[in-house]
Amino acid sequence: MNVKQLKMLAAIFAALILVIFAGSALAQNQDEMKASKKAEIVLTKAAQVGGVVLPAGRYTFRHEVSQGQHFATFVGPEGTKSTTIKEIKCTNEPLKQAVKQTSVSVENVGGVDKITRIEVKGENVAHIFS
């Protein structure tokens, strides 16, 4: 092998090593983001999430990923004819540590109560709704 071939082989080897480490880091990051738990949430009054208004009541919340996009599913309200509301888009905000207690943030925007954030006990992400 001549010097030119050795340099080319070294460059290919270095690129291969970088791809392996990048893939490993990506896989580790995916493992570290825990966002697959379901949670029971209670709304004391009606609130809008996405384009849907949820009546007051107890709901089961679950985060789902489909084709790389994040969605929330709300099932409820409990004690009535169950309604499943799927595919309300959300984004995930990484947190420094796992959440100790499930919480729902509701803000009044233009006279309408809107769910803006849900944190689920045991997850290390916040689910953000716009």
Q: Could you state, in order of their start, the residue ranges of all structural domains in the chain? A: 1-32, 34-128
- Comparing CA positions, the residue from 33, 52, 28, 41 lying closest to residue 120 is 41
Contacts 24+ apart (CB under 8 A), 57-62: 61/118, 61/120, 62/37, 62/38
Summarised one tens digit per residue, pLDDT across range 36-79 is: 678 999 999 999 999 899 999 999 999 888 888 889 999 988 87
- Comparing CA positions, the residue from 103, 129, 102 lying closest to residue 116 is 129
Position 14 scores a pLDDT of 61
Work out the mean pLDDT of the chain and round it to a whole number: 81
Provide the CB-side half-sphere exposure for 125 (13 A, CA). Answer: 20
Residue 81 vs residue 54, higher pLDDT: 54
Does the pTM exceed 0.75? no
- Comparing CA positions, the residue from 46, 34, 118, 117 lying closest to residue 76 is 46
- CA dist 99 and 90 (Å) reads 18
Torsion of CA 37, 40, 44, 48, to 10 degrees: 40
